[in-house]
Amino acid sequence: MESLSVLICGCCPGGNLSNIFALALEGDMNLSIVMTACSTALGLGMMPLLLYLYSQGISDLAESVPFTIITLALIMILVPGGIGILINYRVPQYSKIITQVGLALLLISFVVIGFLAGISQGGKFFKVLSRQLIAIAALMPLTGFICGYILASLFSMNAPCRRTVSMEVGCQNIQLCTTILKVAFPAEHIGQLYFFPIIYIVFQIVEALIFIVLFRCHQRLRPS
């Protein structure tokens, strides 16, 4: 069951966090939105296929994929992106202010929610999850960030695109993963292993924030 929760998490499409991180890293937002939208749309068919192939024929997983949630996730990506494009087109003088305020509010909310979740559920995480699962949760997003940047560099993409691809490859749709774990398996089988995606997203956010801080420091210290 431990390997199954890791497998489901790894097969999930990209999440909305990648758009926020790409924005903080001054990446290509058009590329970020397109990659996230395509990943979510392709997830309708590719996720059941990958789960089927990697799990060697566990067919009930494909039947348990919540297609409605994936569709809603796609809408959630496109609607805010469309509103942002409209604002930037109609009132471009306000777009930078809205971007800065929105980014600050999102970062504050991440810290507050993570702190509250750690207080209320922190003890259960380490009782349920093994050291191997915690190590995997820490390495998965980091590996994705690094591999995404290397692959983008191999294809001679510019710096903003490389940073964007890095975030897109390293970020997963954790809400979808937890939903599948809860819906697809009875509690006596999966137990509390749905905590793995939560630990994963904590490491994903922390590691991305480290990259963002390093990038911002580099931008400030770099000679103009």
Helices 29-54 and 67-90 meet at what angle, rounded to 10?
170
Better pLDDT: 179 or 69: 179
Six-digit token string for 164:
């964007």
- For residue 94, pLDDT beyond 80: yes
Six-digit token string for 111:
């810290």
* DSSP annotation string for 138-207: HHHHHHHHHHHHHHHHHTT--HHHHHHHHHHHH---HHHHHHHHHHHS-HHHHTTTTHHHHHHHHHHHHH
Q: What angle do CA 214, 110, 5 make, to 5 degrees?
A: 95
Residue type, 23: L
pLDDT tier for residue 53 given thresholds of 50, 70 and 90: confident
Q: Describe the chain by its helix, strand, coil percentages, rounded to 5.
A: 85, 0, 15
pLDDT tier for residue 153 given thresholds of 50, 70 and 90: very high
Helices 131-154 and 159-170 meet at what angle, rounded to 10?
150
User: Measuring CA to CA, how many Å separate 4 from each of 9, 13, 181?
Assistant: 9, 16, 9
Average pLDDT over residues 52-64: 60
The torsion defined by the Cα of 83, 85, 87 and 88, in degrees rounded to 10, comes to: 160
**Alpha carbons within 13 A on the beta-carbon side of 70:** 21
pLDDT tier for residue 145 given thresholds of 50, 70 and 90: very high
* From 163-167, 185-189, 194-198, 210-214, the region with the lowest mean pLDDT: 185-189
pLDDT tier for residue 215 given thresholds of 50, 70 and 90: very high
- Which residues, 6+ apart, have CB-to-CB distance to 8 below 8 Å? 51, 61, 177, 180, 181
Average pLDDT over residues 141-150: 94
Highest mean pLDDT among 111-115, 138-142, 172-176, 190-194: 138-142
119-142 residue pLDDT tens: 665 566 566 667 888 889 899 999
- For residue 147, pLDDT beyond 90: yes
18-51 residue pLDDT tens: 888 998 898 898 898 888 888 877 877 777 777 7
Cβ-based neighbour number of residue 143 at 10 Å: 13
Identify the domain containing residue 136 by its residue range: 2-221
Q: How far apart are the C-alpha atoms of 189 and 80, rounded to whole Å?
A: 38
What is the tally of structural domains in the chain? 1
Residue 208: the pLDDT is 92
User: Which CATH number does the domain housing residue 108 bear?
Assistant: 1.20.1530.20
Residue 129: the pLDDT is 67
